[in-house]
Amino acid sequence: MEDLERNGYVLTADPKRVDFSKVHGWLAEESYWAAGRSYDLVARSIDGSLPYSVFTADGSEQVAFARAVTDGATFAWICDVFVDQDHRGRGLGRWVVDTIVADLSDRGILRFLLATRDAHEVYRRSGFENLAGAHRFMEIDRRPTRNAILGKP
């Protein structure tokens, strides 16, 4: 994917451009789903995924991030979508998600999954729907953040 420019921002899929320290701070300190996640775990998760980053136009500051976990052929899970507080409300999260879907669709991937506790309407605008046949899915979830993810005390 070639870098994209829009409204003073640049979106890239170049894994070398990811600001690992910044992304770790966002996920470990500001997100509910990855609270307390170690730097090593964040780095390994990014290394095992396709990362997408948004920077200010001059490239000096990363302001958003998301990654896709995929087999490269049939399925992709979009996760760790995060927009810096100072840059929210500008459509950056949707831009990243829409770009991931378009980029991976161009590679032939037809099925996408993501999970959210509170941004359903945001992702509906990108074409996501509630999971059909959710009763068929099973899981083992040992994450210490499980209750926060599910919105439970």
CA atoms within 13 A on the CB side of 8: 5
Amino acid at 75: F
Going from the C-alpha of 59 to that of each of 17, 65, 72, 124, 126, the distances in angstroms are: 9, 14, 28, 30, 26
Q: Is the pLDDT of residue 153 over 90?
A: no
List of domains in the chain: 4-150 (3.40.630.30)
In the prediction, which pLDDT does 149 show?
87
**Encoded amino acid at 90, one letter:** R
Say whether pLDDT at 23 is over 90. Answer: yes
Half-sphere exposure of 128 (CA within 13 A, CB side): 22
For residue 82, give the 3-state DSSP assignment.
Answer: strand
Q: What is the mean pLDDT of the chain?
A: 96
Rounded to 5°, the CA angle 123-91-3 comes to: 100
* 111 alpha-carbon distance from chain centroid: 16
Mean pLDDT for 124-141 is 94
pLDDT of residue 100: 98
Is the model's pLDDT at 55 over the cut of 90? yes
- pLDDT given for residue 81 in this prediction: 98
H or E stretch including 94?
helix 92-106
Residue 138: is its pLDDT beyond 90?
Answer: yes
| Residue-wise pLDDT tens digits, 81-131 | 999 999 999 999 999 999 999 999 999 999 999 999 999 999 999 999 999
CA dist 97 and 114 (Å) reads 10
pLDDT at 17: 97
DSSP assigned state of 26: I
Tell me: pLDDT of 14 over 90: yes
Is residue 11 within 8 Å of residue 87, measured between CB atoms?
no
Q: What percent of the chain has pLDDT over 70?
A: 100
- In percent, the amount of the chain with pLDDT more than 90 equals 93
| Structure-block tokens of residue 23 | 């992304």
Q: What is the pLDDT of residue 57?
A: 95
Measure the CA–CA gap between 61 and 53, rounded to whole angstroms: 10
Rounded to two decimals, the pTM is 0.94
